[in-house]
């Protein structure tokens, strides 16, 4: 790892230490009740710590680093907007990956794929680097460090005592203080302490990486041995012919109708769709793998070889896009038959992104591939951001409500597992189905007393809807279970 770093990190600045301390304190105070806008509030001082550390090391933010940073902050807004934990988890993971790329820089595939490893390494070296800087500012004296800690302790005590007195003297001030100040009960002390440590260590790791990033562009990937034209092209041409045959059959089915195919195969409409999608998704993944190895072993003797590579792989990519379209159509058929779920909307999003990657590979074959790694990474991050912002749970509920209005079929058991993001769509159902679909969400929202910084906009919107139109008092688990069984077995 050391040979990939340009130099040792510059000495830590005082501004960096203050930003690290702010990150730790905000982590301790804000992250204990859940994740929402508090993630953005914690990320801001951590980003400032990285900026100050990079500035001390003579690094200037480059255009792509700014893009990654803005994208990472944008992804952190998803938990503030959506209540769905699974979509928020994807957004947070993608935000960490973008933040790592902003700190390390780089434009090659190793830089895009291995960047997060540098952050993990800095989890050990960062705190050591920060402690060394703290000791230097105290003149190496333990007494000075202790004096600073005692000053912080006295400050906390003064705020606690006088804050409690002012709260007791004025009810309005007490309400304001209760809304702004997080709950710091003794029972949550160990958890708060852990969050403080995680915030400090994470911010120091981020700052250390900004001061001494790992240069993943220096990782050399040996080029593959070029093959002869026949050895390289023959398997790919045969594969292209197979793709063309399959796509021709798909077009014949499309124009000839599905009834004849279903009658011949003995499958139901849903079975035909479900069987096809997963195989076609795997075909898309394997096609990308074939393209990667084909480019690695492609002949490179001259202009004729370049034309051959572009012609063969370009044709394969075009046919692969038809396969992507067929896979998406299969999933749409399956959703029509059985409704939309989290798994189905997720894999459909992945399939569409794989199709975009194929388009980008085709563009790289025309204009060069120098930009390809970063653009593929940016497209993945943009896809995760769009996926979170479109409210997948809301989309699932909306699609299933529409299906219920068209067919009378509705999976009530599945709707009960959706997040508060689904409340606006489920609110459109007729009674008593509406109250049954919202029964568990209403109970969870009523019990949840998370503070404002740990409450998403989706939860707030759901509470407003349920406050205006509460669930029916006649709705209970027994009657709703009966209704769910009736809908399932009708």
Cα Rg, the chain, nearest whole Å: 28
Domain range summary for the chain, segments of one domain joined by +: 2-62+105-218, 229-389, 392-489
Residue 129 CB contacts under 8 Å (≥ 6 apart), including other chains? 9, 12, 204, 208, 211
How do the pLDDT tens digits run along the chain, 490 residues long?
A: 555 655 677 788 888 988 998 999 899 888 888 889 999 999 999 999 999 998 888 888 888 889 999 999 999 999 999 999 999 999 999 999 999 889 988 888 888 888 777 787 788 888 888 888 877 766 555 545 556 556 666 766 776 677 677 767 776 666 666 655 555 554 456 787 888 889 999 999 999 999 888 888 777 777 777 788 888 889 999 999 999 998 887 776 665 555 665 566 556 656 666 666 778 888 999 999 999 889 888 887 777 888 888 899 999 999 999 999 888 888 888 888 788 999 899 989 999 999 999 999 999 988 888 899 999 999 999 999 999 999 999 999 999 999 999 888 899 999 999 999 999 999 999 989 999 999 989 988 888 778 888 899 999 999 999 999 999 888 888 888 888 888 877 6
DSSP for 366-413, written as a single string: HH-STTHHHHHHHHHHHHHHHHHHT-HHHHHHHHHHHHHHHHS---HH
What is the structure's pLDDT at 435? Answer: 93
Residue 329 CB contacts under 8 Å (≥ 6 apart), including other chains? none
Between CA 340 and CA 332 the distance in angstroms is 9
| Contact status, residue 225 vs residue 297, Cβ threshold 8 Å | yes
Between CA 243 and CA 457 the distance in angstroms is 46
What is the structure's pLDDT at 39? Answer: 93
Between CA 78 and CA 347 the distance in angstroms is 20
- Looking at residue 214, what DSSP letter applies? B
| Contact status, residue 110 vs residue 133, Cβ threshold 8 Å | no
Q: Is 408 left (phi over 0), alpha (psi -120 to 50) or beta?
A: left
Q: How many CB atoms lie within 10 A of CB 367?
A: 9
What is the structure's pLDDT at 146? Answer: 57
3-state SS of the chain: helix, strand, coil percent to 5?
A: 80, 0, 20
What is the structure's pLDDT at 320? Answer: 93
Collapsing DSSP states into helix, strand and coil, what is residue 157?
Answer: helix
- Looking at residue 11, what DSSP letter applies? P
Between CA 90 and CA 76 the distance in angstroms is 10
Q: CA of 219: how far to CAs of 2, 4, 101, 294, 424, in Å? A: 12, 8, 15, 22, 50
What is the structure's pLDDT at 186? Answer: 46
Residue 86 CB contacts under 8 Å (≥ 6 apart), including other chains? 342
| Contact status, residue 43 vs residue 49, Cβ threshold 8 Å | no
What is the structure's pLDDT at 422? Answer: 95
Q: CA of 83: how far to CAs of 29, 422, 459, 462, in Å? A: 21, 9, 6, 10
């Amino acid at each position: 790892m050391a040979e990939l770093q340009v130099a040792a990190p510059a000495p830590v600045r005082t501004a960096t230490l203050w930003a690290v301390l702010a990150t730790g304190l905000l982590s301790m105070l804000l992250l204990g009740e859940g994740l929402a806008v508090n993630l953005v509030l914690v990320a801001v001082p951590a980003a400032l710590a990285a900026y100050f550390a990079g500035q001390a090391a003579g690094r200037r933010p480059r255009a792509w680093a700014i893009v990654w940073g803005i994208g990472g902050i944008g992804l952190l807004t998803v938990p503030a907007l959506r209540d769905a934990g699974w979509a928020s988890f994807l957004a947070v993971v993608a935000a960490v990956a973008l933040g790592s790329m902003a700190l390390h820089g780089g434009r090659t595939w190793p830089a895009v794929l291995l960047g997060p490893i540098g952050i993990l390494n800095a989890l050990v070296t960062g705190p050591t680097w920060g402690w060394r800087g703290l000791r230097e500012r105290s003149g190496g004296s333990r007494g000075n460090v202790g004096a600073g800690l005692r000053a912080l302790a006295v400050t906390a005590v003064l705020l606690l005592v006088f804050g409690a007195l002012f709260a007791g003297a004025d009810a309005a001030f007490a309400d304001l203080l209760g809304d702004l100040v997080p709950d710091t009960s003794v029972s949550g002390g160990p958890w708060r302490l852990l969050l403080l440590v995680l915030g400090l260590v994470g911010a120091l790791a981020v700052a250390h990486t900004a001061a001494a990033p790992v240069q993943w562009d220096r990782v050399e990937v040996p080029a593959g041995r070029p093959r002869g034209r026949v050895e390289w092209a023959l398997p790919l041409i045969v594969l292209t012919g197979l793709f063309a045959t399959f796509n021709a059959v798909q077009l014949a089915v499309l124009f000839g109708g599905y009834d004849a195919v279903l009658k011949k195969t003995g499958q139901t409409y849903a079975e035909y769709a479900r069987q096809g999608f997963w195989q076609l998704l795997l075909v898309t993944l394997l096609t990308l793998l074939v393209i990667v190895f084909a480019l690695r072993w492609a002949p490179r003797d001259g202009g004729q070889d370049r034309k051959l590579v572009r012609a063969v792989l370009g044709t394969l990519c075009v046919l692969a896009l038809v396969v992507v379209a067929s896979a998406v159509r299969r999933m749409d058929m399956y959703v029509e038959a059985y409704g939309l779920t989290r798994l189905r909307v997720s894999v459909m999003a992945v399939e569409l992104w794989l199709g975009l990657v194929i388009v980008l590979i085709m563009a790289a074959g025309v204009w060069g591939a120098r930009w390809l790694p970063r653009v593929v990474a940016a497209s993945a991050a943009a896809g995760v951001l769009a996926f979170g912002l479109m409210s997948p749970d809301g989309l699932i509920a909306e699609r299933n409500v529409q299906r219920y209005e068209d067919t009378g079929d509705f999976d009530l058991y599945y709707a009960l597992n959706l997040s508060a993001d689904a409340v606006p769509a489920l609110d459109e159902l007729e009674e008593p189905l509406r109250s049954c679909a919202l029964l568990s969400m209403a109970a969870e929202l009523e019990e949840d007393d998370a503070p404002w910084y740990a409450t998403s906009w989706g939860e707030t919107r759901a509470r407003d809807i349920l406050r205006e139109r509460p669930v029916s008092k006649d709705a209970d688990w027994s009657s709703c279970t009966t209704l769910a069984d009736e809908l399932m077995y009708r």
